[in-house]
Structure 1
């Protein structure tokens, strides 16, 4: 692997600029630049930005050298862990908003199916394996159960098969096993990568996917000595898969299938739900303030800060009256939540400029499900943004720069240090909440948010306040 210093030297040579000229353009003295090239010293992020600007690096060159810079600055463990967290956040975009659609090639697999009725059979190759899954899903009327911690490729194909067969209401249960303690950095990354698909599907309102978890012995991934570590339980069959999903054992013997079903039900009874929906979600949200009192730091990553807490009582009552006309229970739940929102203090918060722009333009508030009609006057928006501006001056509230993350607009992430990571999806009708309590995962998210706050990925305090001031001015003069 080419080191940061070697990459920087190559870019400088290719730019045609002398070290003296670069020192003049950046304000970094020549001996220091030579130390960067030799690898005995690393520049600050601001210094690296100046260097790349002075040598007119292309977007691709910047991406390559910044990645190497982050790797060498943070170390391999932190760097790859942060990459795993970013993949999870970006992966939320795939399924958290839009209805699912089956893969285009699934129909071709179904055509090649040769359904076997033997009590025990072994399938080789992905085509025959996936065709069997299609057959089983097509005839399933009760539920599909999968465990433990299956690879994303197998999980996504099961979901695609359910969608393709038009069975989006068919319950799909997945049981996850967490080790009582993550033993290695690799296990933590595996867990975060696994959660990428689990969280997206759990929050997706277009499929009946339910995730349960328990704490058990062993590592995060099944042992290498287990020939068929992954299991799908159907009503009339059990499928066991090898580690790379190239071989599967299909069991159709009735009494053996019943044993598997009983074992799965026993596991379910010792599990916790990963996701809360509907009224349960509101109950989960309502205890956030209690959780916040238990933790050291509170981080939030979301489209908008919690704007309702800045609104006047008069504005809140008017909006709640508008919501009550459509759903009285939702209005009561939100009214009961308001004292907690006003008392809530986020230690560190990152939000998107698009969220502020949407609020300034049309009064859009992410905390209110999209199907409820409400209005916030221009004057109320001005007062709310002014109150937010003051909080940005008093706390570490920063605006995320464009293009850093592609997570969906209706997902909020709250990290209560040492307590939990919470994902809240605001759908058109309700909220879905997923809560992760695994300490290693919580620590990884805390590290990622701290990294963002210290990097050029977020605007400075002055830049954040200037952007909010711009929207306030537009409202006042518009």
Structure 2
């Protein structure tokens, strides 16, 4: 038996399905259908699966369950759930509207008071959360506050509170977390390392001065298997050690204890690596961004997934010259680098080394607005309809040859803030913080890079419009631009 045959058998029995009529409807002989039901044959092609779903009158939930079982049996549970975790990460990536400035907790509101003892035993999650709240807000009120974390992103209160602290460079947050050295999953089949990444991203979005460090270990044995206080939070004048379930802990305000724990923390930090290298996508940092994004291995294939269509390969030197903002500092250098970068993108596209996945909504937004989130608005003036038409003709040709693909459900409405690109051994995430600042993160940890690349390289055809449909959609937009109906 297999996962697919188990689920198929369940539906056949519960819905009283006659096997021979279903085999006939699917264009199979009876013996082949019985081998599929018993698991003696590999799952059928997708078109046969769709016919089975229709014949058995499955509900959308039941159909999804059978299709998941089909995928699990076809490629194996570990690979399937790993790719499913990436899909969930992409679909639920936090937008820059997730945290409004009105929601931030401003530290000046805290009421200061000293505990009666410099060592307090805590025996509930409510008590631990109370002291975390007090520690964070007290430290955020200092002129040069610092918070050091040694814990996993499983304590939701900690990370929600951090993501709603008033941002600013005065407060520095250092965080050490443990990553599994091998793929491991939660009981809900979520890839643990990717789940942690999702949990901490709202902190980056809020604009907090936050740096994430990692080391490898067996997370479950290290954090959940008879370890007394695996979690630690340090500030300038206090320390909190507590259990992985957040139910028991000890709060310290003794100076000698805090100093000792901080020294231990600093030695741990020396043995860790940064998960991301962060760069602000601004005129002052354009050269750094250029080197990171555009000077990667020329021979390596490029995979990009983002909400809007990638138009940079089609920004000719003449279009750039007409739309460029020459009032920028270092404008000549930026213009020169941008010209080389866009020409490099076109060269890779021509060499069939580029694959770009984007949404129909993002394509329409570019056509209607003359703006692309790929390039911060400060760098250029709005593209004219004529310039847009010229660029979209390049997009249409790329849709026809399959290097540009328009996404379908469930990725047709990916968050507007997600821009994922992998070229060789360089992976980047570009996103916008709540204050409009654009950040570029270079992924330092190879396991995450490999996980994203595996997903992008193995997306199913059902995720995309056909090449003919995509090209026809772009051509329709071009016609609407030409007759002025989009202006």
Could you tell me how far 1:414 is from its partner in structure 2?
1.1
Partner of 1:277: 279
Partner of 2:482: 476
1:382 aligned onto 2:389: yes
Give matches, 1:43-442, under 5 Å.
43-93=44-94, 95-100=95-100, 116-140=115-139, 141=142, 142-148=144-150, 150-154=151-155, 156-162=156-162, 166=166, 171-176=171-176, 182-183=181-182, 185-186=184-185, 189-202=191-204, 204=205, 206-213=206-213, 216=215, 218-219=217-218, 222=222, 224=225, 226-265=227-266, 271-272=273-274, 274-278=276-280, 279-280=284-285, 283-293=288-298, 296-321=300-325, 324-325=326-327, 327-328=328-329, 333=334, 336-344=337-345, 345=348, 346-370=353-377, 374-404=381-411, 407-417=414-424, 419-426=425-432, 429-442=436-449
Q: Equivalents in 1 of 2:441, 2:153: separation in Å?
A: 18
In structure 1, the gaps of 5 or more residues are 105-109
| 1:52-81: CA deviation from partner (whole Å, max 9, x where unpaired) | 234443222222212222222221211222
In 2, are the aligned partners of 1:370 and 1:429 still within 8 Å (CA)?
no
Could you tell me how far 1:302 is from its partner in structure 2?
0.9
Could you tell me how far 1:195 is from its partner in structure 2?
1.2
Q: Equivalents in 1 of 2:209, 2:69: separation in Å?
A: 38
Q: 1:101 to 1:123 in 2, by over 3 A?
A: farther
Q: Equivalents in 1 of 2:117, 2:63: separation in Å?
A: 58
Q: Which moved more, 1:467-476 or 1:331-340?
A: 331-340
Q: Equivalents in 1 of 2:289, 2:8: separation in Å?
A: 49
Partner of 1:107: none
| 1:217-249: CA deviation from partner (whole Å, max 9, x where unpaired) | 644563535321121111111111212221122
Q: Equivalents in 1 of 2:91, 2:323: separation in Å?
A: 32
Q: Equivalents in 2 of 1:291, 1:13: separation in Å?
A: 55
In 2, are the aligned partners of 1:191 and 1:220 still within 8 Å (CA)?
no
In 1, are the aligned partners of 2:293 and 2:428 still within 8 Å (CA)?
no
Partner of 1:33: 33
In 2, are the aligned partners of 1:212 and 1:274 still within 8 Å (CA)?
yes
In 2, are the aligned partners of 1:147 and 1:176 still within 8 Å (CA)?
yes
In 1, are the aligned partners of 2:149 and 2:176 still within 8 Å (CA)?
yes
1:466 pairs with 464, 472, 477, which one?
A: 472
In 1, are the aligned partners of 2:275 and 2:444 still within 8 Å (CA)?
no
Q: Equivalents in 2 of 1:243, 1:25: separation in Å?
A: 54
In 2, are the aligned partners of 1:120 and 1:252 still within 8 Å (CA)?
yes
Q: Equivalents in 1 of 2:317, 2:286: separation in Å?
A: 25
Could you tell me how far 1:395 is from its partner in structure 2?
4.6
Q: Which moved more, 1:309-318 or 1:255-264?
A: 255-264
In 1, are the aligned partners of 2:429 and 2:440 still within 8 Å (CA)?
yes
3-state SS of paired residue (2:305) = strand
3-state SS of paired residue (2:324) = helix
RMSD: 3.6
In 1, are the aligned partners of 2:185 and 2:192 still within 8 Å (CA)?
yes
